[in-house]
Structure 1
């Protein structure tokens, strides 16, 4: 029976490694968009910084334990991939986003992780050190699952899932299932507990994705290179050769600074500029 349990634990651990590797690769389409546009657009670096910090913590935790080698393998790979993502983001990010990302990196990766290692090494010993680090890992694992939820507000506001990493959400959900059973079979609740919420958060993101999947905003180009997002239903039907008072349009917050629209949205329109 013990042998069967060990094999089952190993199986879930290996599956957890495979699915977690998929999690780390899930943002590739996002970074391909960044590469093509040469801009980070509305994407954020927080999920990748938190992911790097969490991977470092789990490696530290695994080094303090004796039976979680599979945590070391996957999180070592995770550290490398997350570092690549962050460097890629910093290269294409505008100055403000770059500075915010660097502050977060210093706060979590340098100061946060450094303090955890120093304090646990000097003020804790033996099993107590592993318990403390385990609780810290539990808390920040929740942060990894919660971090992608930051885009939910943007999805609801714009009614667009363009910036919602759905592949990451699906992969995180599957990963949560595998690591939950791995931790449960090991009797390590620091591994099992956060994955319960991880599964819950993943399901919420997937549901929200399908709710707003077909609700795309209308993009309107402007003369100064800006993009204004407007929903099609905000434009009443306009007959041919009807004119639009630009000053009236400018009173609307959503269409401020917009001086042109796509032909299919306002057909055969002339624009009268009031002096």
Structure 2
């Protein structure tokens, strides 16, 4: 029975590694959009900074334990990928967003992680150290799941899912399931507990995505309402009629100018030849847009 439990734990751990790798790759479409637009407008760096911090914490926690090697493998990959994302974000971010991201990096990665390692190494020992780091990992794992929820307010407010990373939400849901069973079978509740909330929050994100994916953004609706208020139905019809009348007037003026340009050279030539009086019948030149006609000119 113990052997079967160990094999099952290993299976969920391997599946957790595979799905977590998918989680780390899920933001690729987001960064492709950033690359295409040459801007990070509308996107946030917080999920990737928090993700890097969490991966570093789990590596530290795994080094203090003896039976969670699969945590080291996947979180090492995660540290590398999240670092690439952050560098990419900083390259394309506007100045204000770049400065905010750098402040968050210094606060979490440099100060936060440095203090955790330093304090636990100097003021804790043995099993106590592992318990303290385990609880810290539990708290910040919840932050990883909560971080993408920063866009939910924007989604509800604008009724647009343009900036919601749905692929990340799906991958996080699957990852939460795998790591929950891995932690449960391993008897490590620092791994199992955060993934219960992670699963719940990921489901909420997907529900909101399917609620608003076919909705028109609020900005478009407001524009339509503005046009309707600016031009009521009667005024809009009157405006269209006036545009048609103006267009016809312009066509008549063009036609008059065209006919005048055909007749004027003929009249001038008749005056030069001494036709001071009388009626002269002049046939105007054929014009592709004007029918042939006879004009009586009084010289």
Structure 2, unaligned stretches of length 5 or more? 247-299
Within the candidate set 220, 226, 235, 1:230 is matched to 220
Q: Secondary structure of 2:106's partner?
A: helix
Distance 2:149 2:217 in 1: 20
Q: Secondary structure of 2:161's partner?
A: coil
1:242 maps to 2:239: yes
Residue 63 of structure 1: aligned partner: 63
Residue 264 of structure 1: aligned partner: none
Residue 82 of structure 1: aligned partner: 82
TM-superposition CA deviations, 1:68-105 (whole Å, max 9, x none) = 00000000000000000000000000000000000000
Structure 1, unaligned stretches of length 5 or more? 219-228, 244-266, 271-275
Distance 1:208 1:196 in 2: 19
Residue 144 of structure 1: aligned partner: 144
Residue 217 of structure 1: aligned partner: 217
Greater helix share, structure number: 2
Q: How far off is 1:53 after superposition?
A: 0.1
Q: How far off is 1:217 after superposition?
A: 1.9
Q: Secondary structure of 2:216's partner?
A: coil
- Consecutive aligned runs of 4 or more in structure 1 exceeding 3 Å deviation: 237-241
User: Which is higher, the Rg of structure 1 or of structure 2?
Assistant: 2
Distance 2:171 2:68 in 1: 21
**How do 1:1-275 residues align onto structure 2 when only pairs under 5 Å count?**
1-217=1-217, 229-231=219-221, 234=225, 235-236=227-228, 239-240=236-237, 242=239
Q: How far off is 1:41 after superposition?
A: 1.3
TM-superposition CA deviations, 1:96-123 (whole Å, max 9, x none) = 0000000000000000000000000000
Distance 2:40 2:217 in 1: 19
Q: How far off is 1:233 after superposition?
A: 5.1
Distance 1:26 1:41 in 2: 19
Q: Secondary structure of 2:17's partner?
A: helix
Q: Secondary structure of 1:155's partner?
A: helix
Q: How far off is 1:230 after superposition?
A: 2.7
TM-superposition CA deviations, 1:184-217 (whole Å, max 9, x none) = 0000000000000000000000000000010132
Distance 2:216 2:121 in 1: 52
Q: Secondary structure of 2:163's partner?
A: coil
Q: How many residues align?
A: 236
Residue 248 of structure 1: aligned partner: none
Aligned Cα root-mean-square deviation (Å):
1.8
Q: How far off is 1:60 after superposition?
A: 0.2
TM-superposition CA deviations, 1:195-247 (whole Å, max 9, x none) = 000000000000000000101327xxxxxxxxxx331652437535638xxxx
Query: Could you state the TM-score of these two structures normalised by the residue count of structure 2?
Result: 0.76
